[in-house]
Structure 1
Amino acid sequence: MSEAVAMKSKSTAKAVETENKKRSQWAEIWRRLKKNKMAMFGLGIISVIVLAAIFADFIADYDTVVIKQNLGERLQGPSAKYWLGTDEFGRDIFARMVHGARVSLKVGILAVGIAVVIGGSLGSIAGYYGGKLDNVIMRIMDIFLAVPSILLAIAIVSALGPSLTNLMLAISVSSVPSYARIVRSSVLTIKDQEFIEAARAIGASDARIILRHIIPNSLAPVIVQGTLGVAGAILSTAGLSFIGMGIQPPAPEWGSMLSGGRQYLRYAWHVTTFPGLAIMITILALNLLGDGLRDALDPRLKQ
């Protein structure tokens, strides 16, 4: 009885020690990230954009301000009534940009999430088992990488039709190969380490080793690439919407706003300038945050 209690207390102590170690590790990463002023600046911008997207319905009503046309006040410049002016249909550009942030972030985050899950799974399987399976999976990924991602996205949207769901699917499929290669390279460096051999020795299944030991230790490069991937997904969304293959009017989206206002650029500069600035600032902030995360997650930079 006493031996069982002792073993239980030891296992509890070991679990607590592991949990404390994980917490201290993430605290150290956050401490290093806070030292990077540019990364914190990017994080601040992203936080503001995310909050604006979350509370978009409280900032401006979707039906009466964002969608409803008011041709009597079309192409008005920035003023106290319309902070960023109005577009070619008299709609408030600021309100449309706020609601457009919700669309861009939704597509970017979900598309990258799908790509990480699919690409990470394929990369883990290829790196862990190796051999012919690795060769088949990675050669398929190479075929996808041989096609420019934007062209692959255009082909998928052309085949399935322009919609929000198809847009996310197209961007995620075009992003899968990069995450598969990143995860595979991490798995190749981890799978022969001692703690993996110990897990095999105690009879852990391959699925448990991959899910509980290999993938958690491969997250650092995936997190960095995912942050940068959201920026790329937002840019791809804007590009596809600009050429009419993304979010369809009258739904607000930064790329479609650029496309709709380009013919008025000479005498209504604000119609395209502010959506373009929104795209540029968002992508810049995500890149700054991604660079900061790369430095914070790199164990060689702890000193």
Structure 2
Amino acid sequence: MSANDNTKQNNKKRSQWVEVWRRLKKNKMAVLGLVILVILFLAALFADQIANYDTVVIKQNLADRLQPPSGKHWLGTDEFGRDIFARIVHGARVSLRVGIIAVSISIICGGILGAIAGYYGGLLDNVIMRAMDIFLAVPSILLAIAIVSALGPSIINLMIAISISSIPRYARIVRASVLSIRDQEFIEAARAIGASNTRIIFRHIIPNSLAPVIVQGTLGVASAILSTAGLSFIGLGIQPPAPEWGSMLSGGRQYLRYAWWVTTFPGVAIMITILSLNLLGDGLRDALDPRLKQ
């Protein structure tokens, strides 16, 4: 392929993503979700500037325990006198990091397995997909619980557990996309000029299978954050005193009747984050759907 052809192909891909962005901007709910996510990312990025981790987030101050929301403590304090707003901000860093890294691992591993299964077919396809079916037969949260229980509770093991439980989902999505494009003319042309199977898979097939993976990845981050909160809630995720929304819910549930803010605000943080990711995912699905093109 000549340099001129490469330039044309790159310009075409750029114009396609510009068109996707134009479609996405028309969806007000998707833009709202994107704005919320940007705010959350900025809060997580500058969490240390917003509140000092050691003195405000971790250090106990029993004299201020269970204080209601006020000018001093915007969202009140928890059972150990720690500022809930500061802990939610630092908890955003933990939840977003776990969600993004876990989903990235799932997409890479699942994408490669799905591409290989769909491209080669035959026995290799059957072996890979039957292994994925075995994983899918077990509820993802139960599989994550089993893996964390075996490896021990820690942030690394939590990311490993969530990523392993999500791999089959992306493998099936990529395989379906590969089956629909592996016999198209541009793949045949790549074979005709002597391109290797590895180059065809990574240079042509996987990039053209990204649209459904991007949408599912956005929704997958929401599921990963929810799984993180659920595992932390039962004591298998991020361990105290590190701030994590699920463990904050677990620690404050016994004070729910007379200190509602201890559990309400971490729960609202989880809800807003999941909602924003779902709104963005729905918007990306509509923007990337070729059937919506005029």
Does the pair score TM above 0.5? yes
Matched, 1:201 2:192: yes
**What is aligned with 1:31?**
22
**Partner amino acid for 2:248?**
M
Alignment of 1:1-303 (within 5 A): 11-303=2-294
Distance, in Å, in 2 between the alignment partners of 1:233 and 1:102 is 14
Shift of 1:206: 0.2
Distance, in Å, in 2 between the alignment partners of 1:19 and 1:107 is 33
Q: Would you identify which runs of 4 or more consecutive aligned residues in structure 1 move more than 2 Å?
A: 10-16
Structure 1 stretch displaced more, 201-210 or 10-19: 10-19
Shift of 1:15: 2.5
Shift of 1:20: 1.5
Distance, in Å, in 1 between the alignment partners of 2:237 and 2:293 is 43
Distance, in Å, in 1 between the alignment partners of 2:110 and 2:44 is 28
Shift of 1:18: 1.7
TM-score norm. by structure 2 comes to 0.99
Distance, in Å, in 2 between the alignment partners of 1:231 and 1:49 is 13
Q: Which secondary structure does the structure 2 equivalent of 1:90 belong to?
A: coil
Distance, in Å, in 2 between the alignment partners of 1:189 and 1:182 is 11
Deviations 1:113-163 (A, max 9, x none): 000011001001000000000000000000000000000000000001000
Shift of 1:21: 1.1
Shift of 1:14: 2.3
Distance, in Å, in 1 between the alignment partners of 2:252 and 2:170 is 36
Distance, in Å, in 2 between the alignment partners of 1:204 and 1:99 is 48
Distance, in Å, in 2 between the alignment partners of 1:287 and 1:14 is 38
Shift of 1:23: 1.2
Shift of 1:109: 0.2
Q: Which secondary structure does the structure 2 equivalent of 1:268 belong to?
A: coil
**What number of residue pairs does the alignment pair up?**
294
Larger CA Rg, structure 1 vs 2: 1
Q: Which secondary structure does the structure 1 equivalent of 2:239 belong to?
A: coil
Distance, in Å, in 1 between the alignment partners of 2:245 and 2:34 is 21
Deviations 1:249-277 (A, max 9, x none): 00000000000000000000000000000
Distance, in Å, in 1 between the alignment partners of 2:174 and 2:2 is 31
Gaps of 5+ in 1: 1-9
Q: Which secondary structure does the structure 1 equivalent of 2:214 belong to?
A: helix
Deviations 1:223-264 (A, max 9, x none): 000000000000000000000000000000000000000000
TM-score norm. by structure 1 comes to 0.96
Distance, in Å, in 2 between the alignment partners of 1:173 and 1:54 is 27
Distance, in Å, in 2 between the alignment partners of 1:14 and 1:129 is 28
Gaps of 5+ in 2: none
Shift of 1:13: 2.8
Shift of 1:12: 3.3
**Partner amino acid for 1:299?**
P
**Partner amino acid for 2:71?**
A
Shift of 1:296: 0.3
Shift of 1:100: 0.1
Distance, in Å, in 1 between the alignment partners of 2:85 and 2:293 is 42
